[in-house]
Chain A
Amino acid sequence: QVQLQESGPGLVKPSETLSLTCNVSGGSIRSNYWSWIRQPPGKGLEWIGYIYYSGSSSGSTNYNPSLKSRVTMSVDTSKNQFSLKLSSVTAADTAVYYCAAYDTSSYNWFDPWGQGTLVTVSS
């Protein structure tokens, strides 16, 4: 059974780059699509993007156009991890960030999810 766990700094300064990693256990990073989703405190869910390992660490990606200019996702097969980088952050990027498996077997859904990690953007 696949399990996911996010890790990374909980505090990032404005204009800097947010970097998070999702460790995948119980399954291979090569055999699925992987996604990032965020949730500002007290608000709803926003899909950030997904990545699929296609033979290189940069993978095959699809990003939310609202964030595309600032987002980079990558895969590290040696560590069975995937990562998120979000550049030029502002207070509006303060959120709980979740990683999730994106199942494309039929109707496509996010399952399972990591427990989430709160990232606060503040000086």
Chain B
Amino acid sequence: DIQMTQSPSSLSASVGDRVTITCRASQSIISYLNWYQQKPGKAPKLLIYGASSLQSGVPSRFSGSGSGTDFTLTISSLQPEDFATYYCQQSYSAPFTFGPGTKVDIK
């Protein structure tokens, strides 16, 4: 199985901050990397697919980059509705695996 790690596991930030979350795969997954946002009590929501493509309807302050084993999710200017947990997920090979999540909360 491909193992996914994320850092940090949590972070505190203020509205307007630039936030970067890192995801690493245990082997190359090319660009088969997706990012999801999950708010408490809700289902995950797709933000980024294919490492850098923004899902329709997702604000442009979200961006993704990377390829191979190292990826990043960036929120350019954190908004109040962005406080949530973020998960990366590899879709390169089954079993599809998720990172452990990064919780973004209010400083």
Mostly, the B contact residues are: loop
**Bound-state Cα–Cα, A98 to B2, Å:** 22
Q: Quick check: B43 and A109 within 8 Å, CB to CB?
A: no
Stretch at the interface among A11-19, A22-30, A40-48, A76-84: A40-48
Smallest beta-carbon distance B4→chain A, Å: 10
Q: Quick check: B95 and A66 within 8 Å, CB to CB?
A: yes
Given A44-B101, A45-B44, A98-B43, does the pair A110, B89 have CB atoms closer than 8 Å?
yes
Report A-chain residues with C-beta under 8 Å of the C-beta of B66.
none
Which residues, 27 to 58 on B, are CB-close (under 8 Å) to A? Answer: 31-34, 36, 42-46, 49-51, 53, 55
Residue A31 at the chain B interface, CB threshold 8 Å: no
Report A-chain residues with C-beta under 8 Å of the C-beta of B43.
98, 113-116
Q: Quick check: A44 and B100 within 8 Å, CB to CB?
A: yes
Residue B62 at the chain A interface, CB threshold 8 Å: no
Q: A93-117 CB contact bits vs B (8 Å, 1 = yes)?
A: 0000010000000111111111110
Q: Quick check: B100 and A109 within 8 Å, CB to CB?
A: no
Residue A56 at the chain B interface, CB threshold 8 Å: no
Smallest beta-carbon distance A64→chain B, Å: 4
Given A98-B43, A106-B50, A116-B43, does the pair A111, B55 have CB atoms closer than 8 Å?
yes
| A-B contacts, 17 listed (Cβ < 8 Å) | A44-B99, A45-B87, A45-B89, A47-B95, A47-B98, A65-B1, A65-B95, A66-B95, A107-B32, A107-B34, A107-B49, A107-B50, A107-B51, A107-B53, A111-B46, A113-B45, A116-B43
